Homo-oligomer: A and B are copies of this chain.
Amino acid sequence: MNRTLTEVPRRLLLGSGPSIVPDRVLEALASPTIGHMDPAFAAIMSETIDLLREAFQTENLATLPISGTGSAGMEALVANFVDPGDRVVCGVHGLFGERMADELARAGADVVRVEAEWGRAIDTERLLAAARDGLDAMVVVHAETSTGVAQPLDGLADACREQDALLLIDCVTSLGGHPLRIDDWGVDAAFSGTQKCLNCPPGLAPFTAGDRALAKLDRREKPGRSWYFDLSLVLGYWSPKQAGGTARAYHHTAPINLIYALREALRIVVEDEPLEAAWERHRVAHHALRDALGVLGCTRLAPDGEQLHPLLGVTPPDGIDEAKVRTALLLEHDIEISGGLGPLTGKLWRVGVMGASARPEPQERLVGALCELLGATPDEPLAALAEGWRA
């Protein structure tokens, strides 16, 4: 007897991710599966790495997609670059900082938390002060997806270098949509996700590591706790040159079709417009939408100068049932936005401004639908949106 299964609806994804996946990326995803040791796949891997290096703005040979979702990238970062007993300064100003602190504690690190209120960036002076007492690594969330805050990294790389420590970052929601320069900024290793500004389905964690980070890996006296994320093995497959070999050595079966999709998604990010132009488009899109939602009574959580362009976190209008409006938006208008997490549950809307959604059309659709649900006339907010895009 054949089951009746749920059909996949078509939604406009304007939440915290996954984001809108363009048809050409879905088509690439559905290309025929081939073997992970096929020479054609080896070529596809190399092309993907090259594109990923450009998106990360890095020359690192050790740049690759980890075979798991964004959080797998976090686990790979810690499994490879944090040893038990390491003193690690960890910035915590949202859910993903909390998660990182949890991961570090599980890894046996001595975690020094430097906190800020959810919705604010951490004063870099406080991170630098914590570093002065000595450290093996500093981890900061560059793009805090739970609040929509971009964390400045000024001075952090120098402070880490002075003490032979590593600067490690979570850039899940900044890669491709918010200024990010791995090499220029002296970031030693970073991870991201595919389902944010890259507009690719979730399932891979773009990852990059520089020589200082890899040197720490080389100094390790016994294998790390994770076999799956062990970069010394993973690089033998993804980057044999970096691993000191010549041919790709089998480690685990790569998620073939997701790599096809990532290659196509990166191609859009890197080829369709200069990366700096894409960053600027995200900035304009962010502010245009903020202005439009402002007319409806929404206030951005992040203060000026601390906002993360790809994720607009706003307080919902006063006096409404925010969850009810979000549900109606999803089920009646097929538009997804996200609610708040942790202490911000019920107090925040998180709207994605990520790649394909950093455009006027999807924003107009969102504003129109919200006006309908809130019983507001759309003229003024749409005018504010248009004005924002003209600016």
Contact = CB atoms under 8 A, between A and B. Distances in A.
A201 B257 contact: yes
Interface string A231-263: 000000000000000000011111111101001
Interface stretch (A21-29, A115-123, A363-371): A21-29
A132 interface: no
Interface residues of A, number: 76
Contacts of A75: 226-228
A67 B73 CA distance: 12
Given A6-B44, A33-B13, A203-B255, A225 B107 contact: yes
Contacts of A223: 102, 105-106
A260 B30 CA distance: 12
Interface in A82-121: 99, 102-103, 105-107
Interface string A3-45: 1011111110101011001000011011111111111100110
A330 interface: yes
Interface string A194-237: 01000001110000000000000000000111111000000000
A227 B102 contact: yes
A81 B36 CA distance: 30
**Chain A interface SS verdict (over half):** loop
A148 interface: no
B33 A30 contact: no
A160 interface: no
A43 B4 CA distance: 12
Contacts of A271: 1-3
Contact of A8 (B31, B202, B225, B267): B31
Contacts of A99: 227
A313 interface: no
Contacts of A188: none
A136 interface: no
A224 B106 CA distance: 7
Given A7-B40, A26-B257, 11 more contacts: A2-B267, A5-B47, A11-B34, A13-B33, A33-B202, A67-B203, A69-B253, A72-B252, A202-B254, A250-B341, A255-B258
Closest A-B pairs by Cβ, 7 of them: A203-B255, A30-B30, A71-B252, A8-B31, A6-B43, A75-B228, A201-B257
12 contacts: A5-B44, A8-B32, A8-B34, A10-B32, A11-B35, A15-B35, A35-B336, A75-B227, A106-B227, A202-B253, A203-B256, A225-B225
Interface of A: 1-3, 5-11, 13, 15, 17-18, 21, 26-27, 29-40, 43-44, 47, 51, 67-72, 74-75, 99, 102-103, 105-107, 193, 195, 201-203, 223-228, 250-258, 260, 263, 267, 271, 330-331, 336, 338, 341
